[in-house]
A and B are shown apart, each in its own frame.
Chain A
Amino acid sequence: MRQRERFLFVFFIFILISIVIFLLSLGGNLKFASSILEKLASPIGGTIFTVFHRLPFISESEQTKKLKDKNLNLAVLLLEIEKLKKENSALRDQFQTPKPKSDNLMPANIIGSHGFIPGITTPSNFILDKGELDFAKVGEAVVYKNNLIGKVAKTSSRLSRVEIIVNSSSSFTAKTQGDVLGVIKGDGKAMTFSNVLLSENIKVGDLVTTKGDITIEGIGYPQDLIIGKIISIDKNPSSLFQKARVESFVNFNKLFMVFIIMTNE
């Protein structure tokens, strides 16, 4: 009986402390304390993450790495060519193309990557070593070589959490290189390009890029970031829409560094 009372007492004390800390944290009143803890956690997380990814059965061979890099660069090149073609066409038609906005990139190291089987399954999110003190903001796009990685979902003083595009809660508008519009939704492993009208023409191998979803504050996905390529199409004549599976060119398990597209403010 005495032990039970002691249990209940300790439970109530600590649940109360946790709730108070949670409420204070939500209100942004614990930034100083969390900043100190993050200063300690950041190098520890970074070291463990790096050591783990240097393990021989996790890290990939130099040749594979080079080929993957080459593949990424080719995808960027292909998109550039498509873009140039469109620009030329627009200029010929005496339409002015808007000047591409110069994006402000901030490099950030990945210090945590939370997934089911580390190094094998696609992670749900990344923890970056940049936070509010580095002017990272929630909603900012995160890229790697013109490839969209995700967006900043939460920031703290020194760290930020990135929601990867394949995460099941990720959803945004996208277009193919043929300007077919649709919605990209993550499913944990890959992505689905859905809400594509049945009359639209999409094919396997088409590049899918961001349509551009920028808020008035300048936060969000800029136009023409590569999401991936279509690997299969699900087209049913009786449905209103067709959908396709999209796979990213990026191996999320092999990333060490990404770039946050900063707003100009």
Chain B
Amino acid sequence: MSKLLFFLLISFAILLEGTITSIPIVLDMLLIFYILKRKSSLFILAFISGIILDVFEVRALGLTSIFFISFLFIVFQYARKFEIATYPFVFFASFLGGLFYLWIFNYNYVFQQATVSSIISILVFIGLKKL
């Protein structure tokens, strides 16, 4: 059930981010899934979703995957010493991740989008935690 839900959520996020918005929602989803499941298979999901986004956004293939995988690795390293399933962590991790993502890929409204991205992360985190 949770696998199907994750699949639907990430597919929806990829389609939205690939076509109509630049808010880094795929990054948010990967972060939340990692916090909730902590499975190494998430690196595979990060890789595939990065490649699909690169195709949709006409970037050099692999660039977004490198960013996603590196971001998850930093979260993984942080999780070894600190608790990550907390609201402040979700907020700041998605804010900082989003900020770098938007800056690297040269989007407008970087701060506003990173803030909205953090709010989305918190909402998805609350929603999935209750399930």
Contact = CB atoms under 8 A, between A and B. Distances in A.
User: Is B one of A's binding partners?
Assistant: yes
Interface of A: 3-4, 6-7, 9-11, 13-15, 17-26, 30, 33-34, 37-38, 41, 44-45, 48-49, 52, 111-119, 121-124, 127, 154-156, 159-161, 166-169, 188-189
Interface stretch (B1-9, B65-73, B85-93, B123-131): B65-73
B21 A156 contact: no
Given A7-B40, A10-B40, A168-B108, A160 B58 contact: yes
A114 B106 contact: no
Contacts of B76: 7, 11
Interface in B45-89: 46-47, 50-52, 55-63, 65-66, 69-70, 72-73, 76, 80
Contacts of A22: 60-63, 65-66
Interface string B1-43: 0000000000000010111111100000000000000001101
A75 to B, nearest CB: 25
Contact of A15 (B23, B70, B112): B70
Query: How would you classify the secondary structure of chain B's contact residues: helix, strand, loop or mixed?
Result: helix
Interface centre among B46, B57, B62 (most CB of A within 10 A): B62
Nearest to A110: B19
B113 A159 contact: no
Interface footprint category on B: 35 or more
Given A10-B44, A18-B69, A34 B55 contact: yes
Contact of B20 (A25, A52, A189): A52
A41 B43 contact: no
B58 A154 contact: yes
A18 B47 contact: yes
B34 to A, nearest CB: 10
Contacts of A188: 108-109
Contact of B57 (A3, A48, A161): A161
Nearest to A116: B109
B108 A115 contact: yes
B58 A25 contact: no
A116 B61 contact: no
Nearest to A17: B47
Given A115-B22, A121-B109, A48 B61 contact: no
A137 B108 CA distance: 24
Contacts of B15: 44, 48
A34 B46 CA distance: 18
B19 A48 contact: yes
Contacts of A34: 55, 61
Contact of B22 (A45, A124, A160, A168): A124
B19 to A, nearest CB: 4
Most B C-beta atoms less than 10 A away, residue of A6, A20, A45, A167: A45
Contacts of A4: 80
A26 B60 contact: yes
B20 A113 contact: yes
